[in-house]
Amino acid sequence: MNTVLIYVEHVGGVVEDASKELIAHSIGLCDQVEALVCAASQDQLNGIVGQLFGASTVIGICDERLASYTSETVLKCLNSLIATRNPDLVVMSYSSAGMDLAASAAIGTERNVISYVTELKSDANAVNAVSQIYGGKMFAKTEVDLPAVVVMVPGTIDYAAVIEEKEIPQLEVVDVELGEVVRMTVVGEISPETDDVDLTKAERILCVGRALGGTENLAQFEELATKLGAELAGSRPVIDAGWLSKARQVGKSGTKVKPRLYFMAGVSGAPEHLEGMQDSELIIALNSDEQAPIFSKAHYGAVCDMFQVVPALVEKLD
């Protein structure tokens, strides 16, 4: 395989960890790793280049309309670059943007697409992938002919361990005709409400999942968190249901944490959640489903009814 093109996600010029992981996944597959960066200005682009160690070339597209993400503008950039450079493989993260772009890019450039990928290998004419299915409970092996598009699950490779040399990649700025964007316009950005908690500083976290069932069951978990000296947190379904505040969400769309203890009750372990807590020093999981993906990540786990175990733990800690 000659060339892999990755799509780089960044927020205000800060590259997402998941995009750096794409470099680590790609570097052993091909001769050239090219990174597409859509930036609002040349200054922002220059700041991003120095964060992409391991890439051979950063291909930058600058336009003030790229200050905020819209699929319409970024897809034009991506498809234009695929058409002109014809990479063997296009790789992006399993994220809101990745899910937004991958299928459209595959259709627009007449390529196969594989999603939810955790492992990737290639030869001269094909790519072999291992993908998560059924919420991570099973894995599927797929082989497709090149060229193709692949969507990688974050947190499946250690970028720092793979990329040892800190050589800044070459920068190539290209022009793409975006045309007159009329269908999508960003009118503003709203930050989520926060409270006084900062999960990134917590040494112990107790995280509850969808199995909580409602705020009427929250008191016993709050008591356990107090006994453990831990902050109470929740997975995305808990936050979306309004049972805990957004500031207490752990996961890709919440906060990434690395506590000494991460205690989970009723959290299945979806890829988005694992990305936010997988580097915790000690992971303990309670779940009634013995096939829950979290058990492949936890250091200790129990298949049980958490509503029986938690009161017993509180009593024991007393």
Q: Reply yes or no on whether the pLDDT at 182 is more than 70.
A: no
Reported as a pLDDT band with limits 50, 70 and 90, residue 195 is low
pLDDT tens per residue, range 252-273? 778 889 999 999 999 998 888 9
pLDDT tens per residue, range 201-236? 899 999 999 999 999 999 999 999 999 999 999 999
Helix/strand/coil (H/E/C) assignment for every residue in the chain: CCEEEEECCEECCEECHHHHHHHHHHCCCCCEEEEEEEECCHHHHHHHHCCCCCCCEEEEEECHHHCCCCHHHHHHHHHHHHHHHCCCEEEEECCHHHHHHHHHHHHHCCCEEEEEEEEEEECCCEEEEEEEEHHHCEEEEEEEECCEEEEECCCCCCHHHHCCCCCCCEEEECCCCCCCCCCCCCCCCCCCCCCCCCHHHCCEEEEECHHHCCHHHHHHHHHHHHHHCCEEEECHHHHHCCCCCHHHEECCCCECCCCCEEEEECCCCCHHHHHHHCCCCEEEEEECCCCCHHHHCCCEEEECCHHHHHHHHHHHHC
Reported as a pLDDT band with limits 50, 70 and 90, residue 189 is confident
**pLDDT score, position 151:** 95
Q: Reply yes or no on whether the pLDDT at 191 is more than 80.
A: no
Q: Domains plus CATH for the chain?
A: 3-173 (3.40.50.620), 199-317 (3.40.50.1220)
**pLDDT score, position 181:** 62
User: What's the whole-number mean pLDDT along residues 58-77?
Assistant: 92
**pLDDT score, position 192:** 63
Query: Which among 25, 35, 34 has a CA at the least distance from the CA of 130?
Result: 25
**pLDDT score, position 299:** 96
